[in-house]
Structure 1
């Protein structure tokens, strides 16, 4: 008789399947996390281009040499364009509403956005058609020597912006921490200088993203404070207190000169044409469709909603009593001080974006003046020489890539230092932010938004005839010729 069989524990099919499931899930989660983190890590690594692959500019059939350029991604391009546009001008938009009224201000906000998109579009089309990536090159392609006039407007617009950013940053730090404003101008300049010395605009994507984050956070604070959730963020310092608020009107009884002057404020708030050509130049696969995607996303997708949120709730919070700098309207407490310091740091990250355009414009003029004595002449079809990153092998070490992100030409390096030092000196001599912004808006913003883009498109697309876009570019040119002297006269009258 055989012994009774002993029942052995049978393996649990459910537990075995769960083990297999866990084994297969772990790698899947790891791959998923890798897919999510890889773009973030790539974006944060400024020693590499933000987009994979490369683009090649130049036309050998026309005598030019092909130049390999590592590209910037759409996200990086949008971020840099948004941050170039969004700066200190945002702080004065609620005050502009108080002078012209809610309805007129809303109209000007929309007109400013549409004018900016049209201006960016015709300027981008001119650059893509001529394959020229600097304002200096476009000016001389129009007529030899005209780049001097073009660069004058660029310098007025950009250096006015840099000076105003240094004034805003130093004033914010002085108000928050004390000490002299001269000290904080030096601190702001020291913080901006390493960024000014970067060779490619794509390398500024991280600081631009941080600057935009601060502006978005401040816009959220302005909107939240309107609803007065608690005393710390109440516009008047205490929930239910209306002592700091003035009247809110749909249409302010102002003269035409006030409306024209405030329209310049909205133009200045959307002005960023000086960075558009370098952004197009660095963009990976700069097809017309991708360029338009960058423009529409930056202006209509990001800037217009951000400006609308900030300006609408800022004006409703204080009405006619809003200050030219809306930060001065709020009670001075820890929350406001935190945002004041944050905005001071954020505008410092705007400085390299503007000095980049001035640096390239001046180097173009220097190249014309002394040719190959200053640096090797660039390709016939490419106005910006390739950076050190473009010549590095794919297997280059991180240390080699880090050295390659800085300006490699000694003359251009020295010019960047001179520019930031000159702007710091001007910021020490004046704290009148309103005058600096008014002059820069009257001269630079009008010229860069209407005059030059309209002129370039109308001239370079002559063979297109009387198309709607070309007729519109002529209208932009005429409008710029009318607005520029009028706006400048209103500043000093």
Structure 2
């Protein structure tokens, strides 16, 4: 970007800076007790700081062309990305999780998990509306609610996404040698998991380095075709008239045991896509409540339907003996080989959807550390409007169109992505199984992102307002998350102590 082009954009950027009178500071004092005259010095400082930050970003060439263009996301493209984030390896373990709970009880848990996950997404989308412009993130919301803990929240989210991305590489590395062998390849190189993980990392480079989540909509759509194929394969084997019938009484409707607390994190983990909801909000062309809620409902609803179908038919096909990986229950055939290949493609294309939020969170963490080291002031403001009013900000409003102030430089974008890919590659070729690790991720990271943080963020932003239905729901969602974390983490720790892994 040339200097002349940068200077020519300055007037437009200055005009895009929101009027300071539209905002108030995030103090603990009740609204209305301080006049605008009392706030004018601080508001003037905030406005000048934001304008200077924009000018500095542009003049230094840190803006990409796409960062100042109109957002291009739609309900369909955003729903595809969220659904692909949700539908991953959890599909293969869902029948086994249902077998431990029973047919009816398992179906109820899937439905309740989908509902709870949808509520968490909704609460986060409401919190996103309280941030300025299209710069919403866990970090931005944290700065408005618990500013001193913001860096820790983002670090935890980055670690969680990083761990999931490693699991995808491990699954791909485990599946591809089996696929190569079933297709008749005997070359030692093609039967090596390390080769396939190396192949995956090289193949993922152009996808993992994408700045915008919406740019991944086509690969996400391709990955979802694998879900359709698995959907058909499970039904085909269940309705096969030559299928060996199960022993009488093998299918239970309700089953209760201590295993419930070790299986519940699987249901929680299966619906976790909350790390990408802020990117969806920022990139939707029309990010009104109707559009965001439609995206959430479509992605969660479709995922719930897929999970119910695969869990029920997989359990009814193999009964209580169904394995944690459903595909291992089927005999080798061309149909199953192609199904394994489709799942390998699915997890491969899901990797960038974990890399994207991990990179954004690490960017916020490093930015905060550098600001504290340089002792730079950091201004975060909150929209002075009721929740219902803020939810209907028109797309033409300057507050939703202001360019992102904190844009990653190209050097930082490349370096963070490179480090994430390099570390995930090293760990994935060094570790052969992450089953137990993912159980801990589901009971800690997924629970925190899906329930605890959405609930406490929403409550904190509305603590001075009267109690409403959504405020009560936010407390219930956060409480549910805390209980899941305590009981399920304790169950997994007990599992390790007893050696049952």
- Residue 18 of structure 2 is matched in structure 1 by 59
- Equivalence for 1:259: 260
Give the Cα–Cα distance (whole angstroms) in 2 for the partners of residues 72 and 175 of structure 1: 38
1:87 equivalent to 2:88? Answer: yes
1:137 corresponds to which residue? 140
Once the two structures are TM-superposed, the CA of residue 476 in structure 1 deviates from its matched residue by 1.7
| Distance change (3 Å), C-alpha of 1:414 and 1:438 | same
Q: Separation in 2 of the partners of 1:145 and 1:174?
A: 47
Give the corresponding residue for 2:282. 281
- Shift in alpha-carbon separation, 1:383–1:366, aligned structure 2, 3 A: farther
- Which secondary structure state, in structure 2, belongs to the residue aligned with residue 129 of structure 1? coil
Question: By how many angstroms is 1:492 displaced?
Answer: 2.4
Of 204-213 and 472-481, the range deviating more from structure 2: 472-481
Counterpart of 2:304 in structure 1 is 304
Q: Specify the alignment match of 1:225 in structure 2.
A: 237
Shift of 1:191: 1.8
Offset from partner CA, 1:423-447 (integer Å, 9 cap, x none): 1211112222311320210111110
Q: Number of residues paired by the alignment?
A: 408
CA contact (8 A) 1:120 1:295 kept: yes
1:192 pairs, out of 173, 193, 204, with 204
C-alpha contact 1:379 1:385 (8 A) present in aligned 2: no
TM-score normalized with structure 2 length: 0.76
Is 1:209 aligned to 2:202, yes or no? Answer: no
Aligned-pair distance for 1:100?
Answer: 1.1
Question: Offset of 1:160 from its aligned partner?
Answer: 2.0
Identify if the C-alpha distance between structure 1 residues 265 and 58 changes in structure 2 by more than 3 Å, giving closer, same or farther: farther
Residue in 1 that maps onto 2:434: 433
Q: Is the 8 A contact 1:457 1:470 kept in 2?
A: yes
**Within-5 A mapping of 1:25-424:** 59-61=18-20, 63=47, 64=50, 69-131=70-132, 132-178=135-181, 179-228=191-240, 239-242=242-245, 247-252=250-255, 254-255=256-257, 257-300=258-301, 302-371=302-371, 409-424=410-425
Q: Which has the larger radius of gyration?
A: 1
**Match of residue 456 from structure 1:** 457
Contact 1:57-1:69 within 8 A present in 2 as well: no
Deviation at 1:377, TM superposition (A): 11
Aligned to 1:235: none
Match of residue 444 from structure 1: 445
- 5+ residue gaps in structure 1? 1-55, 230-238, 392-406
Are 1:473 and 2:470 an aligned pair? no
Give the distance between the partners of 1:384 and 1:366, measured in 2 at CA.
26
Distance 1:57 1:288, change over 3 A: farther
| Partners of 2:275 and 2:243 in 1: CA distance | 45
Shift of 1:325: 0.3
The separation in 1 between residues aligned to 2:353 and 2:401, in whole angstroms, is 16
